[in-house]
Amino acid sequence: MNELLNLILGALLVLNLLLVSASRLRHCIKLVAIQGVLLGLLPLACAHPADGHTWQFLLVMFLSLIIKGGLLPYLLLYTTRRINVRRELEPVVGYSLSLLIILALTGGAFWLGSVVPTAVAHGASPLVLPAALSTISTGLFLMVTRRKAITQVMGFLIFENGVSIFGTGMMIHNGLLVELGLLLDIFALVFIMGIAVFNINRSFRHIDTHSLNALGD
């Protein structure tokens, strides 16, 4: 069981590197979809308590797989098609430099994972914390350094996936109600952001967030 878990976490770590070096938007969205699917499979690899809540557990997993691996990437893809941006992400930081930065951040995450008193004894894999931190920082990094509004939505999605990696990897169970609420919130958020991107495109004729600077002191 643990082999599978480590395999998924390792794949998630590699995905982060691929995400920052991808230059095409469609490609990036596909990578996010793969990340969502891997995240959805993560609970299967974790040991979970054998109480009467197995069906709840499976329901949440199934829904999260559908929403994060299918529905949200599809929404993003639909938005890009409607507003007609397919090509470059116009990064503020170049691709090779961002790759280096993410590598450094991942190294930092591994170092942090070894410094803080971890819970290997509690059945969690030592890879969970580095993978989660690295994904969170990749998401935040993409939000800061890519110019298009749609990439910021994507960055947020990656960031949120990172938080969920921590939650599932450390086997923190919130109960059915909260998990469903979480998924619904994320879905509604991406939906509203998609509409906002669409509106920004219509009013400004582009979705470059660097020109959203009329307000301020």
Point out which residues bind other proteins (CB under 8 A).
Answer: 116-117, 119, 122, 136, 140, 143, 149, 152, 156, 159-160, 163, 166-167, 170, 172, 174-175, 177-179, 181-182, 184-185, 188-189, 192-193, 196, 199-200, 203-204, 209, 212-217
Distances (CA, A) of 214 to 53, 182, 209, 210: 52, 33, 11, 10
Q: How far is the CB of 217 from other proteins (least distance, A)?
A: 6
- What is the DSSP secondary structure assignment for residue 122, as one 8-state letter? G
Tell me how far apart the alpha carbons of residues 50 and 180 are, in angstroms, rounded to a whole number: 21
Contact between 7 and 14 (Cβ < 8 Å): no
Nearer to other proteins, 100 or 195 (CB): 195
Nearer to other proteins, 87 or 122 (CB): 122
Q: How far is the CB of 173 from other proteins (least distance, A)?
A: 8
Nearer to other proteins, 3 or 217 (CB): 217
Q: For helices 25-45 and 149-169, what crossing angle results, to 10°?
A: 10
Q: How many CB atoms lie under 10 A from the CB of residue 172?
A: 9
Tell me how far apart the alpha carbons of residues 185 and 173 are, in angstroms, rounded to a whole number: 18
Tell me how far apart the alpha carbons of residues 76 and 43 are, in angstroms, rounded to a whole number: 25
Residues with Cβ within 8 Å of 80's Cβ and at least 6 positions away in sequence, in order, are 25, 26, 29, 86, 150
